[in-house]
Amino acid sequence: MLFLAKAIMQSPNRALMWAFMLGAATLVLSPVGLLSGALIVLVTLAAGLQPGIRALSVTLLGGGLASLVLGSINAFLLSAAEFWLPAFVLAVVLGKTRSLSLTIQVATSILLAGLVVVYALLGSPENTWTGFLQQMLSVWQAEGIVIDSEASVLLLEQMPKILTMLVFMGLYVVWLGMLFLGRWWQTNLYDAGSLGEQFRQLNLGSRLAWLLALLFVVVLFLPEQLLFQDLLGLLMVAFMLQGLAVLHQWVQVRGTGKGWLILIYILLGVLPHMIVLVASLGWMENWTHWRSKFVPDSHS
């Protein structure tokens, strides 16, 4: 995708043209929002705050006009909240602090606060999801789609309990995906430091580590309180990133093969328990400081 970044940064006018087109395209095909958000990150990091504001504004303009044509104002608002505004905020934080760790801490904190707000406003998102899924089942049945009883029970009794957490986890992945892609573009276009080195030194800090420990204890004693479960789940994903950073640093320092690291990524996609294991590694590293003790392999 580096060719796209080169096209975007040919000139300020080209950047605005691409911002408009990708913003409009997001309303037609939602995954384009990842590229649109990464563009905002790239322009903000590479050109500065004012060009970043212009890129954000033109992206919003493109998306807004597309929503008027398509009659989908809700899709525009969702795209702004999911892609464009978070991309700009995280780019500003990264540009000001030059710290990937602090930027990811900010992203994590925003989504944790967002979860609390959702529960405060809705009381029980589970009930909202149940109503939505019941309507969806009714539509499917009206269209002649047959859903067996076990699947219906799973859909209506189990899915509402985890859907809020899954949505926020998805947002977290999208936000960090835009951030990493935009930063990678900047690194390759302008030789602006090493994204790999920044990632390998990722540290979420003791405050979030203590919060995870507290939430783990609370969930043990209050297993029916879904808010605490959702907060814990989101933090586990965050510390999984730190765990992966520890593993990447081990490979870098020791010079070992990357095959087993690839295997871990595959297992993370198919075995949910691997997320817990890698997250535990990242969480413990806040006190053990393993990365500072890694030494090159004398046999490599």
Which sequence spans correspond to the domains of the chain? Answer: 201-300
Whole-number pLDDT of residue 297: 62
**Between these two residues, 261 and 173, which has the higher pLDDT value?**
173
Question: Per residue in 19-42, is it b (16+ CB within 10 Å) or e — as a string?
Answer: bbbbbbbbbeeeebbbbbbbbbbb
| Total Cβ atoms within 10 A of residue 210 | 12
Mean pLDDT of 82-111: 97
Q: Give dist(CA 56, CA 23) in Å, integer.
A: 9
How far is residue 91 from each of residues 40, 49, 69, 179, 185, measured CA to CA in Å? 8, 9, 30, 7, 13
Q: Give dist(CA 236, CA 209) in Å, integer.
A: 10
Whole-number pLDDT of residue 12: 95
H-helix or E-strand spanning residue 71 = none
Structure tokens at 239: 């510390």
Give the side-chain half-sphere CA count within 13 A for 257: 3
pTM for this entry: 0.92
Residue 123, helix vs strand vs coil: coil
Mean pLDDT of 138-143: 77
Q: Judge residue 110's burial from the number of C-beta atoms within 10 Å of its C-beta, 0-12 exposed, 13-18 middle, 19 or more buried.
A: middle
Percent of the chain exceeding pLDDT 90 equals 69
Whole-number pLDDT of residue 298: 53
Structure tokens at 58: 């033109």
